Structure 1
Amino acid sequence: MQKPFMMGTERYEAYLHHLRYMSSSASKFSLDLFQHVVSHNPHSNLFMSPSIIFVAMTMVQIGARNETRNQMISTLQFRSKDQQSILDAASSFAYRLNKRSDHGILRSANRLYPISGKGILGDYRKAVVEHFASDVKHVCFISNPEGSRQEINKWVEEVTNEKIKNLLPSGSINALTRMVVANAIYFKGHWMTQFQPQSTTQTDFHTLDGKSLKIDMMKREMKKVRYSKNAALDCKVLQLPYIGNEMYLIESEMAMIVLLPNTVTGLLEMEKKINVQNMNQCIEDVFSPTVIVSIPKFKLESSFQLSDTLSALGMPDVFNQNKADLSGMGTDLFVSQVFHKACVDVNEEGIEEAAATAATMPAPPRTFIQTFTADHPFMFLIWNYEMMAPLFVGRFTGLETKAAQTRDEL
C-alpha cells in the first residue's frame, strides 16, 4: 500500500475507514486480554502488546471455518463476519504498524510455524502475505523440536533488534507440537520533552500492599503536555508525546498515556472499570497546562503462554485437536501454543519497547501549574493517535523493581 500522503482523497478515506474498523476491534480485544491477565496477577508488574496478539490471531482466523471461526470472530470483537472487510482492515492495520518514521522505530512481524508435511493452501498463504505482510514457515517439530525452537527464537530476535530473546523457553516445543503462532513488535521513541538525568532521584514508591520502596524517579517541568482528570476512572491522565514524523508533518503520532489512580490502592478498581469508551475519553478530553511531571524510571519484561487465556476469552476450539476447524488453511491443523513476550525500558531519553463515556472533571484555569507524581501503582498505554488504539498496555506496581528486569509468567 502506498504512503497516505501519496493516496488520492478517496483512497485515503478508505484507508482510514479500514484502519479505524480494525483499531476499534483491537482496542476492545486489548482491554479484554489485559483485564483477564491482570485478574490472575493482581499485584504484579505487567507489560504486553495485545494489538500484535490480535493481529496474529486474526491471521489464524482467516483460515478458520464454522464454529472455530465464529468463536474467533466474537473473541476478536469484529463487528462483521464479512471476510473481505476483515482482510481490507488488516491490510491498513499491518501497513500502519510498519510505517517508517524519522524519529522512532516501529516494527512488527507475525509468522505461523506449522509442522512440515501439513500442506498450507495456496489461497491462504497468498492472503496472509498480501494482507498481513506475513508468511508461513514449515518446521520439523517431530524430528527436530529443539532446532525448530531455536529457529523461531532467532527470527524473533532479528525482528525486535535483539530485545526479545528466548521467546520460546526450553522444553516448550516437542514432537507433539503441530503449530506455533509467533508474533513480535519493537518500538523505540524519544520524548518530545526529555527528562534530565541529573534530576532523577531516589524516591519512595508506595505499593498496593501498603509498603514503600525506593525507586529512581524522573522529574521535569513540562509545558503544553496533555493532561486531564477523569471522574469515572477516578484518576489523573498524562500524555507524554514522542517526537513525531516530519515526513508526514506529524508533530506527535505516538505517546505514553499514564493513568494514575487518585488513591494509592486504586489501580485494581480502575482496571476493572476501564473500557473503550472511557479509555478514548481519557485520550480526547485533555488540555495543555504546565505540569511538573514525576514518573519512575523502570524496565519491565513479561512472558506469556496464551492458549489457555485465549480459550477462556472465548476461542477454545482453535486449540483443541479434536475440534479445531482450520480447513481454510490446511488439513488436520490446530494451534498448539501462542507465545508472547514484551519488554519496556522507560528512561530519561524516551522509551524502548519490544514484544511481543467517562465524565471528565472541568479543567482548571490554564495559568495553574499542575503536578503529576506517579509515586504509586499506575496503568500505562503506548498510544498511536492515527490508529486510535494502544500498541502496548502495561502496569507498574513496583514489584521487584530493584531487579534489572521483572518477569511475569502465566
Structure 2
Amino acid sequence: MILEDAEQLVKVLNKENNHVILKSANRLYSNRDKSILEDYIQAAVKYFAADVKSVDFTSNPEGSRQEINKWVEEVTNEKIKNMLPSGTIDTLTRMVVANAIYFKENCSRPFETRRTKKANFHTLGGQSVKVAMMQRTMHYPRFGENKDFNCRVLQLPYIGDEMAMVVLLPKTVDGLLEMEKSIDLVTLNQCIKNETFAPNFEVFIPKFKIESSLQLSGTLSALGMPDVFDESKADLSGMGNELCVSKVFHKAFVDVNEEGTEAAADTCGNAVYASHISRTWSSFEADHPFMFMIWHYELNAPLFIGRFTGPTSELCIKRIQQGEVIF
C-alpha cells in the first residue's frame, strides 16, 4: 500500500457517520532522546493522521507502558485493557507505534431478545454444546452459496447499509478449517458480490462475546519479514539509527448480540536498539463453526475477521497475505 492509499484509508475510517460509531486512531510514542527521525514522524502525521507523544522510556519505562495502555483503553471504549503486558517496555525501547480501532453499530433489523433460546452447537471436535441462539425472520436477505468454499454466505446489514456483518457458514460441521486454507481478500470480495436477494427464511445466529490476545512476531516472521526482528539484519534507517522491532502485540474484542455488534482491536509494535442460490432452503442456521466479518462496502474489505467455534472460542483476527489466511 502506498502512502497516499494509507491516507485515504484513514479518511474513510474516520468519516463522520450518523449511524455508526467507527473510530480509528494512530499514536506514535517516541523517546525523548530524539533517536527517531523527524522525517519519519512527520510522514506518520501526514499519511496516517498519527498523534505523536514524547515519553521517557529510558528513565520511566513502566510509567510509559501504563500511559500507552490507558490511551488504548480510552480509544476502544474500555474494551481493550492491558494492551502491553508488564515487562514489555524497558530502557532500550525507543518507540511504540499503536493503532486502535473501535466499532459499534446496531443491526438495521435487530434480533428480538424474547426469541433467543438455548440450542445445540456442533463443535469441530464432534461434540454438541448449548449456546444462546438468536433468531429472526429475514425478508429478502442478501444470501448466496459459494461452491469453491462449499459454504453459504449471509449479510446482516447495519443501519445505513454502509457496513454489514457477513457470516460464511460451511455446509459441513468440520468444513471451516478447509475453507480457511483457500480464502483470501479476492475470494472474500467474490463472496460478497455474488450474493443476491433470496426468499424469506429464518436466521439462527449464536450470541457471543469473544476476545483474543496475540503476540505476532513469530507470525510476521513466518510471513516473510524475519529480518526486522533481528538486530543484526534489521534496516530501519528511515526511522532512526540502530533500530529493530522487538515485539508486535495484537488484542481484539467482538460482542455480537440481539442489538448488533461491538468490536475493538489494537496493535502495538515496539522498536528497540540493535456462487448460485438454492431456492429450497427455509433457514440459515449457524449451528456449527463459521467465519464472520464486519465488512465495509466502500473499502471493499473487512474491518474485522473472526471465527466462532463454540462457547470457548477466542477471536482470531486473521492476516490475509499472499493468498493465505494465517492464524
With structure 1 as the length reference, what TM-score do the two structures score?
A: 0.72
More helix by share: 1
- Bigger Cα displacement from structure 2, 173-182 vs 157-166: 173-182
Partner of 1:263: 172
Alignment partner of 1:381: what SS?
strand
Partner of 1:130: 46
- Bigger Cα displacement from structure 2, 141-150 vs 195-204: 141-150
Equivalences for residues 96-135 of structure 1 within 5 A: 96-135=12-51
Query: Cα deviation per residue 1:178-204 (whole Å; 9 max; x = unaligned)?
Result: 433322110001101100000000001
How far is the alpha carbon of 1:399 from its aligned partner?
A: 4.6
Equivalences for residues 10-409 of structure 1 within 5 A: 78=1, 86-244=2-160, 252-289=161-198, 290-356=200-266, 360=275, 362-365=276-279, 370-400=282-312, 406=314
Cα distance in 2, alignment partners of residues 105 and 303 from structure 1 = 23
More strand by share: 2
Cα distance in 2, alignment partners of residues 317 and 137 from structure 1 = 27
Alignment partner of 1:137: what SS?
strand
Alignment partner of 1:355: what SS?
strand
User: Does the 8 Å contact 1:219/1:295 carry over to 2?
Assistant: yes
User: Does the 8 Å contact 1:114/1:137 carry over to 2?
Assistant: yes
User: Does the 8 Å contact 2:228/2:235 carry over to 1?
Assistant: yes
Cα distance in 2, alignment partners of residues 298 and 276 from structure 1 = 25
Q: Which structure 2 segments of 5+ residues have no match?
A: 267-274, 318-326
User: Does the 8 Å contact 2:306/2:316 carry over to 1?
Assistant: no
Cα distance in 2, alignment partners of residues 138 and 318 from structure 1 = 23
How far is the alpha carbon of 1:408 from its aligned partner?
A: 7.6
Decide whether aligned partners of structure 1 residues 336 and 111 sit closer, same or farther in structure 2, where only a CA change above 3 A counts: farther
Cα distance in 1, alignment partners of residues 173 and 188 from structure 2 = 20
Task: Specify which structure has the bigger relative contact order, considering alpha-carbon pairs within 8 angstroms and separated by 6 or more residues.
Answer: 1
User: Does the 8 Å contact 1:181/1:339 carry over to 2?
Assistant: no
Cα distance in 1, alignment partners of residues 109 and 310 from structure 2 = 24
Partner of 1:12: none
Decide whether aligned partners of structure 1 residues 133 and 385 sit closer, same or farther in structure 2, where only a CA change above 3 A counts: same
Cα distance in 2, alignment partners of residues 161 and 127 from structure 1 = 28
Alignment partner of 1:162: what SS?
coil
How far is the alpha carbon of 1:172 from its aligned partner?
A: 2.3
Cα distance in 1, alignment partners of residues 50 and 58 from structure 2 = 24
Count of residues paired in the alignment: 309
With structure 2 as the length reference, what TM-score do the two structures score?
A: 0.89
How far is the alpha carbon of 1:322 from its aligned partner?
A: 2.0
Alignment partner of 2:96: what SS?
strand
Cα distance in 2, alignment partners of residues 407 and 192 from structure 1 = 24
Cα distance in 2, alignment partners of residues 141 and 309 from structure 1 = 26
Alignment partner of 1:279: what SS?
helix
